[in-house]
Amino acid sequence: MITDEPFEKHIDISEADLTAVDVLSKATTLSKQVIKQAMKKGAVWLTRGKHTQRLRRASRTLNLNDTLHLYYNNEVLAAEPAEAILIADEGDYSVWYKPCGLLSQGSKWGDHCTIARWASQHLQPERPAFIVHRLDRAATGLILVAHSKKATAALTNLFQQRKINKQYQAIVQGQFPASPEILTLNGLVEDRPAVSHIRLIEYSTQRDCSLVNVKIETGRKHQIRRHLSEAGYPILGDRLYGTEKAPSTDLQLTAVSLSFTCPITSKLRSYKLDNNLRPQL
């Protein structure tokens, strides 16, 4: 049986050698097949001692004093992930094109619509995947995925030290200044310093829209969207910070390039998105 109402179930295990499927099928009205699918999509968690992690393997047996968690939301589990495109597989990490709608990070309700899960299931050979930075769900473009704890720590450190050059392109409303100098926007984002450097690439008189290049020094949540909106040039398709009540297009913000010195090989790495995947005036 499938229910449309989201619910949570937390069960302390008092009998050894049971499987999560057996326990949850007795504790809910869900069929074993539905529970197995929920496990595959990241909706079941296991607490053992001080550690809690997703439980995907249906045949894994439980121990006494384990705690089983089910976060069931049929709408979340029924969602189909948008298809990511592999740009480069470097072994310890990979670079992907994240389409609009694909998440950077999952929630307790599931993770099957995330770039990390997509990468772990579609790379050959298969390997674990860890996120080291994020793109908004509505944004598109290049994103790094690490495949070991060592690579995750090393790449995360590069981001924290601002040693990764990230550039974006966006289509904004209005005529952005055609100044020979780059416009720097440094308004606070959530009371924290944030710096974005913007320059005009092209202006369309017919659409009264501008294609701009954005380089950021910091990576605050919605930084580019907020900075451009506050400056009077909201991004097309921005349902949070734009002026359109019902945008007729997806968010026109794309991460178009990443460059850094690989922390594992010490070689310079540079990745650029093909023009056909960039915003087009």
Helices of type H across the chain:
20-27, 32-40, 74-78, 115-122, 149-160, 223-230
User: How many other β-carbons are positioned within 10 Å of the β-carbon of residue 27?
Assistant: 13
Rg, Å, the chain Cα set: 22
Separation between Cα atoms, residue 104 and residue 98, nearest integer Å: 8
Contacts 24+ apart (CB under 8 A), 76-83: 76/6, 76/43, 76/107, 76/109, 76/110, 77/37, 77/38, 77/41, 77/43, 77/109, 77/110, 77/112, 79/112, 79/113, 80/113, 81/112, 81/113, 81/114, 81/117, 81/118, 82/113, 83/118
Q: CA torsion, points 158, 163, 167, 172, in degrees to nearest 10?
A: 90
Q: Is residue 136 among the annotated active site residues?
A: yes
Backbone angles phi, psi at 14, to 5 degrees: -115, 5
Q: What share of the chain is helix, strand, coil (3-state, %, to 5)?
A: 20, 35, 50
Among 136, 191, 250, 274, the active-site one is 136
- Which amino acids are annotated catalytic? 136
